Amino acid sequence: MMQTRRIGDATITRILEYAAPTHDPAFLFPDLPQAELDRLTPTLAPHHYIPGMNRLIVTIQLWIVHAGSNVILIDTGVGNFKPRAAARMNMLNTLTLPWLDAAGAAPKAVTHVVQTHMHSDHVGWNTVLADGSWVPTFPNARYLMPRGDFDYYRDEAAKRVNPIIDQAFADSVMPVVNAGLVDFIGDSGEIADCLSIEPAPGHSPGMLTYRLRSQGEEAIFSADVLHSPVQIARPELNTAYCINPDQARATRAAFLARAADREALIMPMHFGAPHCGYVRRQGDGYVFEGATW
């Protein structure tokens, strides 16, 4: 499935890898009381939470930006045939590549693969299996990886199996590094003359978000600053995956204020339908307003 919209002169396309009611709220948000979840349920169901199952809907999606001659892929999901400990991600066999082709982002057409952070569900389509080896999916692209995350998870992978990266460093990261296709980036600057880098540490050590501005419009590829709209209503809530909880909360608070002030379209990785939208102020807090496609 794909959906497309415009931000000024740029075209943004969303490719769905999968979406499902996968996560127990008590696991993903360990500090969220059930009574508070019940209070928020009318704003979350049915697209972000299924109360009858007591499961949060988590989506894996890839974002494509066509800007001038650039074809930019932001994060690359889980990937096909990747062995993963989590059953929901293990040995997928999806139609993501044909959808990318249909969206004008065939492997040889992609100019940039931009990664927000190095968790296994954000790097998987970096590579595909060919003759028993993992090879770069996008041979003509530069893969842009946050240096802080790469260094941290490279060291983690050398010490032990980290469930957040699983085997992804070996099958989805190092093959493109070894192919000489990677440029490591810091927490400032611009990519492809259209994406401004903004630091967003906390969920991971070096996570980045990317801001797209064109013709007075603005959109933010917001990575995992937010996993669910519940964190817009309750910004103090971290996920179980946040490596530095205090820093993650500070990053989220600053992000929500900026997004609301700029009236920017936010495009997270994991939101259910409509998958993107706006942060609106409501009293002393915020609410999520879904966008239309």
Least Cα distance to 151 among 103, 206, 88 occurs for: 206
At residue 158, the pLDDT reads 86
Q: Binning pLDDT at 50, 70 and 90, where does residue 159 land?
A: confident
pLDDT over 80 at 258, yes or no: yes
Q: Are the C-beta atoms of 238 and 15 separated by less than 8 Å?
A: no
Question: Sorting pLDDT into bands at 50, 70 and 90, what band is 157?
Answer: confident
247 confidence band (pLDDT: 50, 70, 90): very high
18 burial type by CB count under 10 A (0-12 exposed, 13-18 middle, 19+ buried): middle
Rounded to the nearest integer, the mean pLDDT of the chain is 96
Give the Cα separation of 232 and 287 in Å (integer).
6
| pLDDT beyond 80 at 1 | no
pLDDT tens for 106-145 read 999 999 999 999 999 999 999 999 999 999 999 999 999 9
> Between the CA atoms of 114, 16, 86 and 79, what dihedral angle is there, to the nearest 10 degrees?
-50
For residues 38-60, give the mean pLDDT: 97
List, for residues 67-87, the tens digit of each pLDDT value: 999 999 999 999 999 999 999
Residue 161: predicted pLDDT:
80
| pLDDT, position 134 | 98
Residue 213: CB partners within 8 Å, gap ≥ 6? 7, 8, 194, 196
Q: Specify the pLDDT at position 230.
A: 97
Give just the sign of the alpha carbon dihedral 75, 140, 66, 183: positive
Domains and CATH numbers, the chain: 2-290 (3.60.15.10)
Structure tokens at 216: 């007075």
**Mind listing the pLDDT tens digit for each residue in 12-46?**
999 999 999 999 999 999 999 999 999 999 999 99
- How far, in Å, CA of 293 to CA of 276, rounded? 9
